[in-house]
């Protein structure tokens, strides 16, 4: 660690010593992260070459978007990188939840059943499914889709025996890779592979759908390479590399992607329409940068986990634990420390560092949420950010860091704020 940053930020000697030791302790973890990034970067580069990415792919289109070469090439590149038959990659997915909702409504019909095999899904999906919110708002359950759920075991791992029984007769078996606002581990691709096998025992023809948000390029494989039929993610998280300003993807079996495209646009047109308005270049550049950006986020996450463990806080995952996503959860214990941590992360942001984050009633959440996110793209959680609902156990979920230097400094500022 460069001791010059002590003068720039005024860190005291104790914090500098702790941070230097934490960084040294992470050396082996960093080497593993770099190895994965190198493999994923090679995979992305090969997909660009194989699909003949060229300058005309950047031009974009207006109106109906007929014959948009770049749009079609982006779909092919993402499909190859993610190990799927096809992909639907569009800037007009407004969030990961929107892409997930599109996929769910795309493949489910009245009388079908969806079973979440990883417990209760992320807060923003509750109203989409219909397990929260008012009846008649257009949820899946309003359309006659049945919902089932297999809770995780006490240690946060899947209940494989119950999964096999619960998915019998289900059209969709749903897996959430990341942890949401819980303290269970994020699921690795190996974990997902075991879940797929358990699902196939009970429902060989069920569609295995994976919410892959925060998980892209964390490992050398994606869930589609472990038996998942369709995976979904956001471009303002890992897959956009900090470059894409909006968007998301749905990738998987070609027949399922086509059904999802009918939901996004309309039946009969699907992927053949949709102008790109000059967004192609940043989606391609973001994907190209993504493996190295994800590596920076993972290093930031490992460093934060080690530093705050040394400071006496419970962190998950630890620096050497297997990682299924870019997130580290830090259990701070009370609302005051939670808000202080978020103030420190905000102070380390390149944008809006002067802003003081405050808890607020965020749409789609049942509790007040505090968010620290001084990002070039609003809400981009591949950029350093931290957020948490104001409820027990008063843990904060930290993610992102498009460069390791900025991520490390943000973490150190958070530690100083708590001192």
Tell me the per-residue pLDDT of 396-419, one tens digit each, with 9 for 90 and over. 999 999 999 999 999 999 999 998
For 377-403, write each residue's pLDDT tens digit. Answer: 998 999 999 999 898 889 999 999 999
- Report how far apart, in Å, the C-alpha atoms of 216 and of each of 241, 293, 382 are: 10, 11, 11
How far apart CA 175 and CA 354 sit, in angstroms, is 38
Between CA 312 and CA 329 the distance in angstroms is: 14
Mean pLDDT over the full length of the chain:
96
Q: Is the pLDDT of residue 131 over 90?
A: yes
pLDDT at 5 over 70: yes
> Residue 225: pLDDT above 70?
yes
Q: 89-93, 132-136, 281-285: which has the minimum mean pLDDT?
A: 132-136
Closest CA to 401 of 202, 238, 164: 238
Given a cut of 80, whether residue 362 has pLDDT beyond it is: no
pLDDT recorded at residue 364: 65
Model confidence at 361, pLDDT cuts 50, 70, 90, reads confident
- In the prediction, which pLDDT does 298 show? 98
- The one-character DSSP state at 186 is P
pTM of the model: 0.95
Nearest Cα neighbor of 244 from 99, 143, 136 is: 99
């Amino acid at each position: 660690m460069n001791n010059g940053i002590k003068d720039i930020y005024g860190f005291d000697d104790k914090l500098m010593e702790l941070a230097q030791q934490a960084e040294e302790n992470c050396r082996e973890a960093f080497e593993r992260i770099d190895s994965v990034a190198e493999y994923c970067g090679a995979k992305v580069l090969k997909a660009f070459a194989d699909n003949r990415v060229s300058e005309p792919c950047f031009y974009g289109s207006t109106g109906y978007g007929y014959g948009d070469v770049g749009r079609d090439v982006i779909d092919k590149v993402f499909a190859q990188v993610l190990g799927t038959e096809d992909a639907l990659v569009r800037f007009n997915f407004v969030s990961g939840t929107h892409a997930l909702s599109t996929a769910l409504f795309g493949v489910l019909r009245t009388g079908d059943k969806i079973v979440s095999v990883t417990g209760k899904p992320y807060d923003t999906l509750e109203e989409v499914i219909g397990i929260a919110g008012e009846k008649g708002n257009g949820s899946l359950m309003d359309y006659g889709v049945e919902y089932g759920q297999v809770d995780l075991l006490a240690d946060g791992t899947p209940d494989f025996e119950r999964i096999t029984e619960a998915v019998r007769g289900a059209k969709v078996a749903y897996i959430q890779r990341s942890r949401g606002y819980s303290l269970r581990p994020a699921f690795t691709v190996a974990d997902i592979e075991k879940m797929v096998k358990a699902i196939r025992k009970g429902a060989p023809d069920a569609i295995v759908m994976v919410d892959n948000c925060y998980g892209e390029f964390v490992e050398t494989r994606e869930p589609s390479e472990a038996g998942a039929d369709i995976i979904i993610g956001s471009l303002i998280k890992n897959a956009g590399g900090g470059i894409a300003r909006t968007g998301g993807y749905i990738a998987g079996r070609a027949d399922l992607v086509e059904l999802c495209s009918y939901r996004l646009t309309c039946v009969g047109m699907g992927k053949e329409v949709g102008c790109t308005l000059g967004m192609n270049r940043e989606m391609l550049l973001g994907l190209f940068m993504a493996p190295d950006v994800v590596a920076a986020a993972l290093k930031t996450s490992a460093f934060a986990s080690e530093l705050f463990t040394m400071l006496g806080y419970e962190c998950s995952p630890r620096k050497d634990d297997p990682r299924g996503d870019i997130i580290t959860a830090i259990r701070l214990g009370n609302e005051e420390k939670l808000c202080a941590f978020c103030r420190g992360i905000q102070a380390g942001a390149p944008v809006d560092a002067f802003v003081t984050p405050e808890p607020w009633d965020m749409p789609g959440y049942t509790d007040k949420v505090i968010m620290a996110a001084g990002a070039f793209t609003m809400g981009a959680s591949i950029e350093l950010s931290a957020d948490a609902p104001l409820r027990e156990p008063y843990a904060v979920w930290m993610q992102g860091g498009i460069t390791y230097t900025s991520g490390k400094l943000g973490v150190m500022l958070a530690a100083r704020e708590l001192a």
